[in-house]
């Protein structure tokens, strides 16, 4: 989990940089693109809109799940620009963690005055 924590620290730093530059009030897609750019620029292995299949009876099914940002195949970043994070957003991230092999996810809501109040860290405890 040390690698995931290190990655999360880098992602949070890049998120703060993006938020300071853009501020709140833009579309989710704008924050996602800027964060993706910052993470790529820093040299991390980053994928955007990565497909996340559902494994059912040893068959991979494409159910339309897409990860906003996947960092080093270890950390899921879900970008939001909403009035507030609610249970459906948490359920979404927990589903992504359950379906992937990732142990850590960051749910980042950019539509806040102070970004640290918009970050939720979720851990996949299922082994």
The whole-number pLDDT of residue 113 equals: 96
Angle, CA of 70, 92 and 124, to the nearest 5°: 65
Distance CA 59, CA 38 (A): 35
The whole-number pLDDT of residue 23 equals: 96
What pTM value is reported for the model?
0.93
The whole-number pLDDT of residue 59 equals: 87
Q: What is the pLDDT of residues 55-84, one digit of tens each?
A: 889 888 888 899 999 999 999 999 999 999
The whole-number pLDDT of residue 34 equals: 98
The dihedrals phi and psi of 82, each to the nearest 5 degrees, come to -125, 165
The whole-number pLDDT of residue 127 equals: 56
The whole-number pLDDT of residue 62 equals: 84
Residues of the chain with pLDDT under 70: 126-127
């Amino acid at each position: 989990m040390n690698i995931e924590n290190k990655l999360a620290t880098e992602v949070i730093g890049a998120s703060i940089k993006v938020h300071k530059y853009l501020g709140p009030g833009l579309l989710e897609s704008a924050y996602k693109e800027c964060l993706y750019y910052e993470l790529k620029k820093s040299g991390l292995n980053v994928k955007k809109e990565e497909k996340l299949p559902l494994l059912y009876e040893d068959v991979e099914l494409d159910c339309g799940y897409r990860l906003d940002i996947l960092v080093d195949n270890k950390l899921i970043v879900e970008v939001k620009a909403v009035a507030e994070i609610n249970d459906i957003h948490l359920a979404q991230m927990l589903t992504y963690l359950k379906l992937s092999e990732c142990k850590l996810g960051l749910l980042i809501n950019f539509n806040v005055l102070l970004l640290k109040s918009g970050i939720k860290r979720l851990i996949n405890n299922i082994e």
